[in-house]
Amino acid sequence: MRKLFLSMVVTAAVALQGCAIKEPMPAHHKAPTLTPRTSTYQDLLNLPAPRGKLVAAVYGFRDQTGQYKPNPASSFSTAVTQGAASMLVDALQASGWFVILEREGLQNVLTERKIIRASQNQPEVAPNIRDDLPALMAANILLEGAIVAYETNVRTGGAGARYLGIGVSQEYRVDQVTVNLRAVDVRSGQVLSNVMTTKTIYSIGRSANVYKFVEFKELLEAEAGYTTNEPAQLCVLSAIEAAVAHLINQGVEKRLWQRAEDVSST
């Protein structure tokens, strides 16, 4: 009878562990893959074609949250990515509405152009740099903005149950990131369009445990669980992609730029 009861308890613990751990640790490291994209990326790809692409420049997309990772993880590392400008350029390229000019690394471009001009005076010069350099393109629109807010523990909660020493529980936490994006007319400095988007960040923890006396002075104790944290940088990327899509749609509504189908319909 004792062995039967012990077998039943162990079986229940294993079953709970199987329910709790949906994604066990892989036996080997996975190969690098492309960054997973959300539905906002597909929205960018499905935007209608523009009448003409907008020549735009991005000088930066700063972190204005002032938030740092909580202790004990780190008291100096920031809570959000510092590479939001690169994410913005990627989203603008994916939309198909913009010709993006390099401005964040403009000094590197200027240095390389100086090297080309210096090498043109040499007798043996490569054919691809023999001709005179054209002037750099000028932007019509500046895309400005920042990550303006990162709120932690916007909502927390959980649930659990225990019966005869066998229990399961689940806890969750919701964070929130907000980005601002605006299009500025280079000639007048006027803000043509301005949008703010917010993305929630979910963290979920699940656990199962057994705490049971199977015999006098003989205690069975088992515990299993896992935690899933939605990557903050992917949530920032998704918020930026949504901001680009809304900025384009807002500009179409204000007749700041046109879709190709609008021209054909007239």
What sign results for the dihedral spanned by CA atoms 49, 54, 55, 60?
negative
Higher pLDDT, 180 or 162: 180
Please name the residue ranges forming H helices in the chain.
2-20, 39-45, 84-95, 106-119, 232-253, 260-265
Domains in the chain: boundaries: 2-20+41-103+139-260
With 0.85 as the threshold, say if the pTM is over it: no
Share of residues in the chain with pLDDT > 70 (%): 86
Across the range 182-196, mean pLDDT stands at: 94
DSSP-derived 3-state class of residue 225:
strand
For residues 258 and 50, is the Cβ–Cβ distance under 8 A? yes
Q: Look up the CATH number of domain 2-20+41-103+139-260.
A: 3.40.50.10610
CB atoms < 10 A from the CB of 177, how many? Answer: 26
Q: What is the reported pLDDT for 228?
A: 85
CB atoms < 10 A from the CB of 186, how many? Answer: 14
Residue 203's nearest CA partner among 239, 171, 236, 168 is: 171
Q: What is the reported pLDDT for 13?
A: 46
Across the range 70-82, mean pLDDT stands at: 74
Residue 238's nearest CA partner among 97, 94, 100 is: 94
Please name the residue ranges forming H helices in 80-197.
84-95, 106-119
Q: What tokens does 222 get? A: 């088992």
Calpha distance 255→145 (Å, rounded): 22
Contacts of 237 (CB under 8 A, 6+ apart): 35, 38, 87, 90, 91
DSSP code for 175 = E
Higher pLDDT, 80 or 21: 80
Higher pLDDT, 79 or 54: 54
Confidence check: pLDDT of 54 > 70:
yes
Confidence check: pLDDT of 75 > 70:
no
